[in-house]
């Protein structure tokens, strides 16, 4: 799996205002900004992203994915961008 493929998978199942993906083919890090995260706890946000990946998380196609999940307002206030 490539970063572009993973980015496409996430974006196809989740409306993202900003999406960064980097990694080595098995271990990934993502910054995901979506209004769908409004009112959700971090675990619920991560579950929402995992839902976009479906079986790929269980078949080891995506071995590890660390995520920073933010709402658009949180992203705007973040010093990281």
**Displacement of CA 42 from its chain's centroid (Å):** 12
More confident residue, 16 or 59: 16
Residue 43 has pLDDT above 90, yes or no: yes
Instruction: Average the pLDDT over 41-69 and give the result.
Output: 89
Structural domain boundaries of the chain?
3-77
Q: In the predicted model, is pLDDT for residue 39 greater than 90?
A: yes
Does the pLDDT of residue 16 top 90, yes or no?
Answer: yes
Q: How confident is the model at residue 36 (pLDDT cuts 50, 70, 90)?
A: very high
What is the DSSP track for the chain? --HHHHHHHHHHHS--SEEEEEESSSEEEEEEE-GGGTT--HHHHHHHHHHHHGGGGTTTSS-EEEEEEE-HHHHHH-TT-
Q: What CATH number should be reported for the domain whose range is 3-77?
A: 3.30.300.90
HSE of 67, CA atoms in CB hemisphere, 13 A: 24
């Amino acid at each position: 799996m490539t970063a572009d493929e993973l980015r496409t998978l996430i974006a196809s199942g989740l409306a993202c205002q900003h999406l960064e993906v980097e990694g080595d083919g098995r271990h990934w890090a993502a910054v995901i900004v979506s209004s769908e995260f409004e009112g959700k706890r971090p675990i619920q946000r991560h579950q929402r992203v995992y839902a976009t990946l479906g079986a790929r998380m269980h078949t080891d196609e995506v071995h590890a994915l660390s995520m920073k999940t933010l709402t658009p307002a949180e992203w705007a206030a973040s010093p990281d961008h």
